Amino acid sequence: MTHFLDDLATHARDTPDAVALRWFGGRDGARVREEVTFAGLAERVERTASGLRAEGMVPGDRVLFSIRPRPEGVVLCLAILRAGGAVVFVDPGSTPELFAARITAARPRWAATEALLYAASSGPLRGVARSRGLLLPDYGRLPVRHLYSGRWLPGVPRGARRAARVLAGGALPAVTLPAAPSGADGGSPEGGDPALIVFTSGTTAEPKAVVHTAGTLGGMLGLFAQVGGLRPGQRAHTDQMFLGLPAVLSGGTWEIPARAPRDAPEAFARGVAGADSSFLVPADVTALLDVLEARGADGTPAAGPAVGPAVLAVGAAPVTVALLERGRRVLPGTRWIAVYGATEILPAAMTDADEKIAAATGSGTVASAGPDGGARGDLVGRPLGGIGVRIDTAVVGLDDDPPGAGTAAGTGTDAGAGAPGDRTAVGELVLTGPSLMAGYLADLDAGKPRATEHRTGDLAYQDEDGRIVLVGRNRDMIIRGTVNIYPGLFEPRLRDLPGVGDAVMVGVPMPDGDERVVLVVTAERAVGEGAPREPAEPRGKGAPWVREGTDLARSVGDQVGRVLDHGALPDLVVEASHVPLAGRSRKPDRRALVGLVSPLAGTVRA
């Protein structure tokens, strides 16, 4: 069986001197700091993989990976996969308890970490990090084998090896890379050891992580090549590995910006101009467009029309029509693409700006109304080649019908599937395909079978052309940046805070597709000692008032850092008189709360 890295050997043989990686640096981010050819990349990956095996790495070893995209980190990441190891991503910004729980669940034998992160977590920069509200775990004390990237800094543990020096002695011909170790291939849908483990949500009691094999990673990279239309010789300018690696494996050049687009948008705007493709999350698109529109805004004539990449894919969070309209206006020469997917199966569908905008305005080929004559919903596009789609209508109608569902809800056949030819039935979107995860870590470690499909939690239908249209969510979830936040995991902890009777987290949609997290709390009612705590006002009693800046809101805002994951911290805490209810099950009416808090949460420009 083949390993997706075999494509690297092919390009190293056919175009050895072509540039595979180009890393930018300098104060303005315009200087080329390092270039790596295909021959050099293939040789470094294989020699590093051989060095890791010599150091004791065996197939199945898990490596906690905390290195930003740059040549040294890319080589190490690919070498770990070539050696049969698994790369584990854990957010260092999570609470210490959650970080520890995730490490316990992942059971890494190795840690690959930037020297700067060691210094900030256990070295002389620890105080600086704490002063900025960043409570990092002590990486140096983790009971694992340590690899570090970059120059040595105080805090790097004794005995740690620099990644760039973990090389087998003697150069190995890059065009004759050996096959992946047994069990590390993952090309078979029935087998394959973990190659990538990504923690997405969960609690300290039950951390949740998605597991991909080398086979499903190869499927993912192949699907992203479809998104970018990648071909040999093209330039992909992005800090996102999921477009950078497909570019390299397609024979193109991955241009790595000096810093993340949100941190240095001006430098990114210069670098991405004229590239063949790029991939950004919506928040980074906003930062890029802000910079481009600001040119000449002070009265100084601009050098000319703004230039972007030929193709700019946007994903990892909802992509709004407003964002695409602004992008098309600022960079009219760029083809804008919205990508849909989930960590469990990525990417799954895509549409371009023209098609999505036409669908939203009713000026395109999409019917001007949804399945019941109501709202059209959010077009996310056609499934990519190899992606299977099933609409499970059995989940609709169990409590409250979704927006736009109407009479089409609950009209499925066996197992909740939409009736043959009934493209407009609304139900939960269920996906299969070559990039489908192997499963969740806890399930696989417990010996449960591999996943056969992914239930997205999104309510959708397919139009007459087979395009996927979202109409709502089947489960509560907030998406901010690239983080999925499940309120139900955190609200019980928030209700235990002093003075809090009830707590509900909601996401307020922003024009750029992001969501602003608002925590709504109510005051507890005074009761006898030892009695259960109760809200000051019962849930659902009339229309509530909502205020910010109250004593309770300020008190809770000061305490949330102790009980919430860093990625789930609210942007705003407000107090309400009570929580409105909706539906037959009398659950919190989150939609009503969003309407109430939106004026307080404010907006950001698309």
Report DSSP letters for 5-21, one per residue: THHHHHHHHHSTTSEEE
pLDDT value, residue 1: 52
What is the arithmetic mean of pLDDT over 84-92?
92
Supply 432's token pair.
């299969």
Cα separation values, 346 from 130, 191, 210, 226, 390, Å: 35, 19, 12, 12, 16
Does the structure show a pLDDT above 80 at 60? yes
pLDDT at residue 130 tops 70:
no
- Quote the pLDDT of residue 92: 80
pLDDT at 184: 39
CA dihedral 120, 122, 125, 130 (to 10 degrees): 80
The reported pTM is 0.79
Helix (H) or strand (E) holding 195: strand 194-202
Q: Give the whole-angstrom CA distance, residue 243 versus residue 251.
A: 13
pLDDT at 261 over 60: yes
Q: What phi, psi does 493 have (nearest 5°)?
A: -65, -40
Structure tokens at 401: 């019908």
User: Range with the lowest mean pLDDT among 17-31, 249-263, 523-537?
Assistant: 523-537
Of 69-73, 211-215, 317-321, 359-363, the one with minimum mean pLDDT is: 359-363
Q: What is the dihedral sign for C-alpha 84, 387, 279, 129?
A: negative
pLDDT (tens digit, 9 = 90+) per residue, 134-150?
Answer: 668 889 899 999 999 99
Query: Would the pLDDT of 190 be above 60?
Result: no
Q: Which pLDDT band holds residue 442 (cuts at 50, 70, 90)?
A: very high
Whole-angstrom distance, CA of residue 122 vs CA of residue 254: 33
With both helix axes pointing from N to C terminus, report the angle between 6-14 and 38-55 in degrees, rounded to the nearest 10.
Answer: 140
pLDDT of residue 302: 56
Q: Which residues pair with 49 in a beta bridge?
A: none
- The whole-number pLDDT of residue 420 equals 40
- Between CA 31 and CA 499 the distance in angstroms is 55
With contact defined as beta carbons under 8 Å apart, do 254 and 260 qualify?
no
Tell me the mean pLDDT in the region 573-592: 83
Q: Find, among 4, 69, 82, the residue nearest to 43 by Cα.
A: 82
Higher pLDDT, 122 or 301: 122
Q: Which two tokens stand for residue 26?
A: 């300098």
Three-class HEC string of 489-509: HHHHHHHCCCCEEEEEEEEEE
Beta bridge partners of 31: 25
Mean pLDDT of the chain: 83
pLDDT of residue 417: 42
pLDDT at 385 over 90: yes
What DSSP designation does 124 have?
A: T
pLDDT digits (tens, 9 = 90+) for 322-359: 899 999 999 999 999 999 999 999 999 999 999 999 99
Find where tokens 């709502």 sit: 472
- The percentage of the chain sitting over the pLDDT mark of 70, rounded to a whole number, equals 81
For residues 16 and 9, what is the distance between their CA atoms, to the nearest angstrom?
A: 9
Mean pLDDT, range 515-523, rounded to an integer: 93
The average pLDDT across 43-56 equals 95
Element containing residue 87 per DSSP (H, E): strand 86-89
For the ranges 280-294, 453-467, 472-486, 525-539, the lowest mean pLDDT is seen at 525-539
pLDDT band, residue 409 (cuts 50/70/90): very low
